[in-house]
Structure 1
């Protein structure tokens, strides 16, 4: 399933919802929350597995310890959001805006973050094994003890010389120049 980003109206969300409404609709089987306004919402420890949140406004939202595995967050704005210890395994975050987002200790195994905006992001202790980070800017990211085993960093901007490589697991990672780190 591909996402057509030309239809996104950046910053123009269709509905405002509160946490109770999101949880209630999800419990009734609804998964389509694309382009909704969830600005500043608290969804701590909420299960939104496989939800479609593409293009959603999640600026400053608290999604710490939330289950977003398999969710589609492509084109979503998560600026300043808290996703501490969130489960984002197999999530789609293509072209998402994650500036200043806290993803400390988050599980992003096989997540697709290609083209996402990651300035000032905190990925300390996060597991990005097998994640697609192609074309992202990690220059100002906090990467302490991040796991990048098998991740795709092709065309990514990263300052290797500023990293403590002892803290990183880079085995089988595709580096920005296309080489594979062993």
Structure 2
């Protein structure tokens, strides 16, 4: 295959019906705005290519090198980018609806406002990616790596303007219905992200910013949310059985009707949290700050509330059967109608 093809060569061959450009060295080529749909680019070198607004629908770019390419507004609907290298590529406003990026490297890539609806991102390397405002509705991101980095990548590759960014940015991203099972999002910025109905089973979100995020009806069984910020987030109807929330911030969050069976919530800061009707059976809430929280009708059977701060907390009609409240602060708490059978009270006495 000719290794010195020009953009004119590519366009002429495409017009003549040639669709296979696999293995070509096209580094730095300028093909912005070209229509190259249903083409084959296996193992091609398109590093630092100019592909803004290029149409590559249903193209095969398996193992392609697109590092540092400019692909703003490109159309890659249904494209195959499996195992491709897209480090530091600019795909802002690009359309990747239904594209497959399984095992793809997207380290430091810019996909802000991109459409990744129903995309396959299984096991993709998405560290330090920018997905601000992107649409990932229904995307499959099982095992994707979006963890926070201590050092930001290859000095020869990284864009100077992003050199200091060490976290994945998903600010305002639409991840509703996305499959994020086992994904690593530790330290990621998900401020105001839409994760309604998403599957985050066993995902890692330690230290993540989920303030004002929407997680209604999300499945978060066994999720790691240690030290995560969920202030003012909405999780109505979410399932967080066996979730790890140690030292998480839940201030002003809406956890009404949430299931938290066996959740580990030691040292959480959850003043004014709404947990009306929540199921906290066997939850570990030692030293939790639940001051002014609304736990009306909550199920807290066998909950561990040792040294919890429950000042002015609404526990009306809550079921605290066999709960442990040793040294808990219950001053001014509302316990009207609460069930305390078998509960160990702050003074160590068991309520009969």
Which bin holds the TM-score, normalised by the shorter protein?
A: 0.7 to 0.9
Cα 1:14/1:57, change in 2 over 3 Å: farther
Instruction: Please report how far the alpha carbon of residue 151 of structure 1 lies from its aligned counterpart in structure 2 after TM superposition.
Output: 0.6
Question: Is residue 215–residue 234 contact of structure 2 (8 Å, CA) maintained in 1?
Answer: no
Equivalent residue in structure 1 for 2:199, among 127, 151, 155:
127
For residues 49 and 126 of structure 2, what CA distance do their matches in structure 1 show?
Answer: 16
* Deviation digits for residues 103-127 of structure 1 (CA, Å, limit 9, x no counterpart): 0000000000011111110000000
Match of 1:64 in 2: 117
Contact preservation (8 Å) 2:87, 2:106 = yes
SS at match of 2:102: coil
**Which residues of structure 1 form unaligned runs of 5+?**
1-12
2:35 corresponds to which residue? none
Matched, 1:151 2:233: no
- For the 8 Å contact 1:157–1:176, the answer to whether it is kept is no
Q: Look up the match of 1:175.
A: 245
Alignment map for 1:1-182 (pairs within 5 Å): 16-17=50-51, 18=54, 20=56, 23-26=59-62, 27=80, 31-94=84-147, 95-159=167-231, 163-164=235-236, 167-177=237-247, 180=264
Report the CA distance between 1:168 and its aligned residue: 1.3
Unaligned runs of at least 5 residues, structure 2 = 1-46, 63-79, 148-166, 249-262, 266-282, 284-352
Q: TM-score scaled by structure 1? A: 0.83
> Residue in 1 aligned with 2:305?
none
Q: Shift of residue 93 of structure 1?
A: 1.3
Q: Give CA-to-partner distance per residue, 1:44-92, whole Å, 9 cap, x none.
A: 0111101001100101100000000000111010111000000000001
Query: What is the CA-CA distance between 1:159 and the residue it aligns to?
Result: 3.6
- TM-score, length of structure 2 as denominator length: 0.44
The 1-side partners of 2:137 and 2:104 are apart by 19
Q: Structure 1's 81 and 160: CA in aligned 2 closer, same or farther, altered over 3 A?
A: closer
CA distance in 1, matches of 2:175, 2:50: 24
Shift in Å, 1:160: 7.8
Change (3 A) 1:143 1:47: same
Structure 1 residues 29 and 132, CA, compared in 2 at 3 Å: closer, same or farther?
closer
Q: Distance in 1 between matches of 2:95 and 2:233?
A: 37
- Root-mean-square deviation (CA, aligned residues, Å) is 2.5
Higher mean displacement: 20-29 or 104-113: 20-29
Gap change, CA 1:161 and 1:56, over 3 Å in 2: closer
More strand by share: 1
Measure the CA separation in 1 of the matches of 2:125 and 2:87: 9
- Count, aligned residues: 168
Q: Rg: which structure is higher? A: 2
